[in-house]
Amino acid sequence: MKKSQIFIFDIFVAFLILLISLLIFFSYFVDSQRSDNLFNLNLEIMNGFTQTKINDLNNVEIRKMFISGEIRNVENSIAQQVAEFYSLNKIELAENLSKIYLSSISSRNINFLVSIKNGSLSYDELYSYSALNSVNSEEALRSSSLQRTIFIFSKNGANSKTQKYTFKIELWS
């Protein structure tokens, strides 16, 4: 009778160890999959921000900016136009254009921050969104941050120059 009790106890311990191992493995797997999804979403947003042309956006405010002469080249990407506004010190227009494009992702349950910097200056916030029950990016369990640099060519009268701008998009949940 003692051997059967020891055998049952061994089976119980082995089952418990197996169950705990599976729980640890799957919790890590699900967590890493969520991080991968966040990175892929960030990459999709960054690619859209730097590759979508102003002309591709069907928005009343953008049409008004074009009619008023604020936007001169509808073939610019959103990032190029934002950087151009930023270089001309039209910060409100840069923020507004960023908001127009990025408001489509505001419905998702993620937090994000879009920043821009010129050369070696520090980042300036262009647009941010916090989902309900949000935490800041330092406290987040999962986060993704991407940076992309673009160059814009601006011509003011006889002067022309090329400037470098870096965009950073941070996502966290």
- Torsion of Cα atoms, 85 then 42 then 172 then 170, to 10°: -30
Are the beta carbons of 146 and 42 closer than 8 angstroms? Answer: yes
CA dist 32 to 46, 112, 113, 141, 144, Å? 21, 19, 22, 11, 12
Question: To which H or E segment does residue 6 belong?
Answer: helix 2-51
Cα gap 137→171, rounded to integer Å: 8
- pTM of the full structure: 0.69
Per-residue pLDDT reduced to its tens digit, 72-104:
888 999 989 988 898 888 989 999 998 888 876
- Does the pLDDT value for residue 33 go beyond 70? no
* 87, burial (CB in 10 Å: exposed 0-12, middle 13-18, buried 19+): middle
Domain boundaries, the chain: 35-172
Residue 50: is it exposed, middle or buried by C-beta count within 10 angstroms (0-12/13-18/19+)? middle
Cα–Cα distances in Å, from 43 out to 4, 72, 80, 146? 58, 28, 17, 7
Place of tokens 């089952």: 15
pLDDT digit string (tens) for 97-140? 988 888 766 656 777 788 888 876 777 887 777 765 555 555 55
Q: Which residue has the higher pLDDT, 10 or 160?
A: 10
Please tell me the number of Cα atoms within 13 Å of 163 on its side-chain side: 22
φ and ψ at residue 72, rounded to 5 degrees: -100, -25
> What is the model's pLDDT at position 68?
93
- Band of the pLDDT at 57, cuts 50, 70, 90? confident
User: Among residues 165, 25, 172, which one has the least CA distance to residue 84?
Assistant: 165
